[in-house]
Structure 1
Amino acid sequence: MKVTVIGTGKVASNLIHILSDKNLLHTVYGRSQEKIDSAIGLKTNIQSSHSLDFRNNPSSVFLIAVSDRAIKEVASGLLLPPNAIVAHTSGTCTREDLLDPENTGVFYPLQSFTTSLPIDFSSIPILIEGSNEWTEKNLIDLATHLSTSVQVTTAIDRQQLHIAAVFASNFTNRMLHAAEQVLNQASLDISLLRPLVELSISNVFTTGSQQSLTGPAQRQDHATIQNHLEKLDATPELRTLYETLTNYIQASYIKKTATLKR
């Protein structure tokens, strides 16, 4: 199996790195040779292309790893060899965005990527969808070369996972940014929170989110909550955020546990 990666961004760069290490990568497509060279690095056995005409390319799988809004545009310009599989790496776009109804699929690595540090793919969940059994099997085979966590999902399930990932990753990042803002007011460094954050995250995956929850809202410590709100008066956006999340804890934890006790 040989693979062509279409794109040179964060997801594409990480796929290029791991596929090259596994000796599966044949070609990288990009509009800029500079970006292609940056993504390929020192690997001299990888072909580069500025054309979407791949009719003479020996790859059997073509992975479109571009922004969601560019998938349809790229797919509409593709010329592929017979029986080739084309899949995108998006968590939100559907397989139908690839336009060709024959051998299309989704190859979605559930992870947040950067271009600076290649990520270890071995435990990253890769979610697969195929237009037919043959396509699905080939995408699964490719995914198992990269990761030990491979799962077939529907478009609806994948989109739900993407929403959950936003809560778990992007929103967590902004919560830590909010914490950093509070600490900055006291000239304290966010590194002080690292042991607490790491243990809190670990506890969620070992004992569950409900069982591992702590804090003044969970304890219904109204005096502490009011004290915190008063101290946040100077930063209204943080006070509003604190109130919103406190209300959510009371709705999702306290009311639920009260129901369970009945």
Structure 2
Amino acid sequence: MALVMVAQDKGLFQAQGLDVELKEFTAGKFALEAFLAGSLDFAISGDVPPLLAALQGHKFVVPAQLVGRTVNEVRVVVRRDDHAGSAKEYFGAKKRKLATSIGGGPEFFTYEFLKKLGIPPENIEIVSQKPGDMPAALVGGSIDAVAIFDPFAFIAEKQLGNKAATFTDDSIYSELYVLEAHEDSRENPETVEKLLKGLIAAEKFVQASPDESKKIVMKYTSLDRATIDGIWSSFDFRITLTPQLLEYWNREVLWAKETGKAAATTNVPDFRSYLLTDPLKSIAPERVAL
């Protein structure tokens, strides 16, 4: 996430006395897996992977979101044909093959999106694919559509050009990004507080210096300036905790049970118990909107 890269590059973690090493993953669910395995002290992912981990009994805490919201950051990009006038027409015309990131926000969005359209399961083949492989697969024609987050949605649109059609619906879901920390942060919140202070300083830098912030993201990723410019406004970079996170988690439980990711008899935890609010409250209480 941009805030982490900016904080690292501008020495904002170091200013808090933290020695931070960044590890890049192609999807947040992979970062969370490494975190749960003990390879990382902290992780950043979308909101779905920690929900599934909680249902599996894993213990961790979420001290903050790194965005207040996103805007159509997860969306469906399709190979345009004569039926691409609307999503309902496109997916209702014939059986389509759609790639998404299984176990993450894009899969949840796909399920809710198709459900709202009334597309029966037999009309679509959903396949799991790495986000980085999706644009080439879509261009090559081995799949008809992708449901994925940026920058991969933007890259797919860019590579397909006028052969692409995009369908969005942020009333269904707009992915949130969260910070995960280990449970011992409850008793020892000092490191979390320092991390959040560094991220809040990065947020202020991004607001004041978007051009330099974009250059920093370019330095830490393989993304070009056109891609970063194209996706930047999709993110409300903000250290916060909002009711939207709990709302999504409660909806995602139903999805997990309906799709067999969790047994119907799975005990649903109190998700508030996964939120570690004290560190952010102690620094900037106005940022905790729960």
TM-score, normalised relative to structure 1: 0.28
Compare the two structures and name the one with the higher strand fraction.
Answer: 2
Max Rg structure: 1
TM-score (norm 2): 0.26
For CA contacts below 8 A with separation 6 or more, give which structure has more relative contact order.
2
Point out the structure with the larger helix share.
1
